[in-house]
Amino acid sequence: MEDLSVPSHSLFHSFCVRPSVKFETQMDNEEILLVLRAHPITQLPWILNGIFILILMVCINLFATSIFSFQQQFVLNVGTGAFVFAYYWFNFLAYFFNVGIITNHRVIDMDFHAVIYKEITEARINKVEDITAKSGGYVASLFNFGNVYVQTAGNELNIEFENIPRSSDVVKIINSVIP
Amino acid sequence: MQWFIDIFSTNSGIFDLLFKLFAVVISVIYLIYALIVLRQSRLMLMAINEGGGGFIRFTAFLQVLLAVFLIVVSFAII
């Protein structure tokens, strides 16, 4: 199991042990043990989509000279580049700021849906009843990522960490923190 | 005034006008989107503050500059 006393970052900051991070609702005596993000391989679709759009733009340029003037083509190319930039930036923000945080007091799931909707779900460590790790499929097995579900007692919302790396290790870490 | 009349006298003139209108409208929408994302990225950095905050603010601001450039280009060049 991971040594929780030594800070480390792996997999493009998707599995960070004791990172130098602060979050909004952090208490004074609260230490961050683990910060989790989706496995980088799950971000491949939007990366490839952007590349495809750029290739499409280059191909259209070959045929567009007969339809558009040079100035119009220039504006179209700049516009397409701006669109791809916006698409990449939007998806990067969604990847970077959708985090799961495990501290010595709480388990926190921070989600930004479509960048503009913020949802923070947290559970006290001593209220955690059940922790489940699910991992299925060839890609998930190959790259070792899955989902972790943290259930608490009563009617409180459950916490879900989706597509996180080393889901089994995360379960072990949460179990080790529970008093 | 003659220039304005000439635009509607040819098909290519109407096409150019519509293209310019489309480019300007899309650019303005893009600028609004970029400003929203700039504001949201600042709120996101307040929610979780990790290293790279400067890079994120800079890139969000760069997107706004790109949107302004797109508007200028749409007005001036076409």
Do residue B66 and residue A21 have CB atoms under 8 angstroms apart? no
Q: Is the Cα dihedral A36, A16, A49, B52 positive or negative?
A: positive
Of B27, B30, B48, the CB nearest to A23: B48
Per-residue pLDDT at A4: 74
A164 SS3 class: strand
∠ at Cα A27 (A24, A110), nearest 5°? 40
Convert the pLDDT of each residue in A125-157 to its tens digit.
Answer: 988 989 999 998 999 999 999 999 999 887 666
Do residue A86 and residue B56 have CB atoms under 8 angstroms apart? no
Per-position pLDDT tens, chain B of length 78: 666 666 555 667 888 889 999 999 999 999 999 999 999 999 999 999 877 789 999 999 999 999 999 999 998 875
Q: Based on the number of CB atoms within 10 Å of its own CB, is B65 exposed (0-12), middle (13-18) or buried (19 or more)?
A: exposed
Q: Tell me how far apart the alpha carbons of residues A135 and A66 are, in angstroms, rounded to a whole number.
A: 52
Instruction: Of A16-25, A35-44, A91-100, give the lowest mean pLDDT range.
Output: A16-25
Q: Which residues pair with A165 in a beta bridge?
A: A145
Of A19, A78, A90, the CB nearest to B50: A19
- DSSP letter assigned to residue A163: E
Convert the pLDDT of each residue in A87-98 to its tens digit.
Answer: 999 999 999 999
Q: Tell me how far apart the alpha carbons of residues A124 and A25 are, in angstroms, rounded to a whole number.
A: 13
Reported ipTM: the value is: 0.85
* Residues contacting A155, CB < 8 A, separation 6+: none
- DSSP letter assigned to residue B10: S
* B47, A122 Cβ separation under 8 angstroms: no
Do residue A89 and residue B59 have CB atoms under 8 angstroms apart? yes
**Chain B: which residues have CB within 8 Å of chain A?**
16, 19, 23, 26-27, 30, 33-34, 36-37, 40-41, 43-44, 46-51, 56, 59-60, 63, 66-67, 69-70, 73-74, 77-78
